[in-house]
Amino acid sequence: MIEKVNLNDVPKKAMNEIHGEKVLYQIVWRFTPKAEMLKSFRGVARLTVPPGETNLMHNHAKEEQIYIVLSGSGEIQVGEERAPAGPGDVVYLPANVPHGFFNTGDKPAVILNIGAGVA
């Protein structure tokens, strides 16, 4: 059976307690996959970060992530380092290292977030 989700069908919600009230998240998948190769897979989310906003510096003790910038521009901070990020950029976020995206552009930034658990 094919498991498929269309982003247009996934509600957008703010995750105020961790990421601020203006950044919208669409949690696409949050489950434990059956396939052996995906045992550590945690989920996929799409973030929409308005101009001038951030998803705040935060960390995940037992999850590493990849951010893929789909549109918009800004800066990504991982630990103490900060770098420009724009469409096509893929950034690895290690577990338990503070990170955040800061929209420095004039359009919303859209980011695909893929997470995997670590021991």
Neighbours of 46 (CB within 10 A): 18
Residue ranges of the domains in the chain? 9-117
Its sign, for the CA torsion 59, 65, 114, 68, is positive
End-to-end CA distance of the chain: 30
Give this prediction's pTM. Answer: 0.76
Smallest Cα–Cα separation from 57: which of 105, 32, 23? 23
Separation between Cα atoms, residue 71 and residue 89, nearest integer Å: 10
For the 9-117 domain, the top CATH level (class) is: mainly beta
Highest mean pLDDT among 5-9, 22-26, 61-65, 100-104: 100-104
Tokens of 9: 């069908």
**pLDDT score of 33 more than 70:** no
pLDDT tens figures, 38-84: 667 778 888 999 999 999 999 989 889 989 999 999 999 999 999 99
Q: Report the percentage of the chain scoring pLDDT > 90.
A: 50
Reported as a pLDDT band with limits 50, 70 and 90, residue 87 is very high
Q: How far is the C-alpha of 19 from the C-alpha of 44, rounded, in Å?
A: 16
Of the candidates 77, 81, 80, 79, the residue with the CA atom closest to the CA atom of residue 101: 77
